């Protein structure tokens, strides 16, 4: 078992997402440190990919910027090594979010064993359905990583099956479609989270579309944590290499709101 459980030990968890290498890896490193200092309980790091099918325009554009800046998987690994070492090492759990092709092209066992070696706690692969996770889960378990399961509004007939074998935390997809800021979240997340909790004791965190403190507070009433990505990536797009302070302030506000 990884350290992901620690993110949920002190009340509602706030989980920010960023795309590594946007606008460059030095800025990503500074943002991660700022987010930890601001109260992030777990940090989701996106490894850029040329065809991020689960992402809306905001994160797609972040992937393009990161790849254009020369970001590679090996460079992301090196950045995480730096974050996890030294007197100022980042302590909060961190997970990678990427796509199956990134893992396959690197070599699944090589990728996952490197994740374990550098201090990554889990892996999110949004393009791998529950029925196909077996080709990864044996390797993640071998190296002590959690393969995070996703449950969407369309998972109704499979919630019990997915939740009962979940590890780390369950990523609850609040809305149909791709990631992105939404003015309203219309899914009955209370019903969805209730069904998940009836099937599993693994914490659940809601993501997709959450962008304001009010939305985060509403989602936190039903789940153990809240995930915010596109709203943070938009701040980075607007502030570039000066993003760390701005993102840190946003994370602090969101964490205080759900606590």
pLDDT at 175 over 70: no
| pLDDT tens-digit readout, 203-239 | 999 998 899 999 999 999 999 999 999 999 999 999 9
The residue range of the domain holding 70 is 4-258
DSSP the chain: --SGGGGGSSSSEEEEEEETTSS-HHHHHHHHHHHHHHT-SSEEEEPP-S--TT--HHHHHHHHHHHHTT--HHHHHHHHHHHTSSTT---S-EEEE--HHHHHHH-HHHHHHHHHHHT--EEE-TTS-GGGTHHHHHHHHHTT-EEEEEE-GGGGGGHHHHHHT--S-EEEE-SSSS----S---S-HHHHHHHHHHH--S-EEEESS--SHHHHHHHHTTSSEEEE-HHHHHHHHHHGGGHHHHHHHHHHHHHHHH-
* pLDDT confidence tier of residue 176, bands split at 50, 70 and 90: low
pLDDT value of residue 27: 98
Average pLDDT for residues 62-84, to the nearest whole number? 97
pLDDT at 107 over 70: yes
Question: Which of residues 193 and 181 earns the better pLDDT score?
Answer: 193
pLDDT value of residue 157: 80
Average model confidence (pLDDT) for the chain? 92
Do residues 215 and 227 make contact, with C-beta atoms less than 8 angstroms apart?
A: no
pLDDT at 101 over 90: yes
Average pLDDT for residues 129-143, to the nearest whole number? 92
pLDDT value of residue 180: 42
Reported pTM: 0.93
Q: What is the CATH number of the domain that holds 247?
A: 3.20.20.70
How many domains would you assign to the chain?
1
Average pLDDT for residues 94-114, to the nearest whole number? 96
């Amino acid at each position: 078992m990884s350290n992901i459980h620690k993110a949920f030990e002190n009340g509602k968890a706030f989980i920010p997402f960023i795309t590594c290498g946007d606008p460059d890896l030095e800025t990503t490193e500074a943002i991660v440190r700022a987010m930890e200092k601001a109260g992030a309980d777990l940090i989701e790091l996106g490894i850029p990919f040329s065809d991020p099918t689960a992402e809306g325009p905001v994160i797609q554009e972040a992937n393009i910027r990161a790849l254009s800046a020369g970001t590679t998987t090996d460079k992301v690994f090196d950045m995480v090594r730096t974050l996890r070492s030294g007197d100022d090492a980042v302590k909060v759990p961190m997970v990678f979010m990427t796509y199956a092709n990134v893992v396959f092209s690197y070599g699944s066992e090589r990728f996952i064993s490197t994740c374990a070696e550098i201090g990554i706690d889990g892996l999110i692969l949004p393009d791998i359905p529950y029925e196909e996770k077996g080709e990864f889960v044996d390797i993640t378990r071998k190296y002590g990583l959690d393969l995070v399961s996703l449950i969407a509004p369309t998972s109704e007939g499979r919630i019990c099956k997915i939740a009962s074998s979940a590890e780390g935390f369950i990523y609850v997809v609040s809305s149909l479609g791709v990631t992105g800021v939404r003015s309203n979240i219309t899914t009955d997340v209370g019903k969805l989270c209730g069904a998940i909790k009836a099937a599993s004791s693994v914490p659940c965190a809601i993501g997709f579309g959450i962008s304001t403190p009010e939305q985060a507070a509403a989602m936190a009433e039903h789940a153990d944590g809240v995930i915010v990505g596109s709203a943070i990536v938009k701040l980075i797009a607007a502030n570039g290499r000066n993003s760390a302070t701005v993102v840190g302030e946003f994370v602090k506000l969101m964490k205080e709101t759900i606590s």
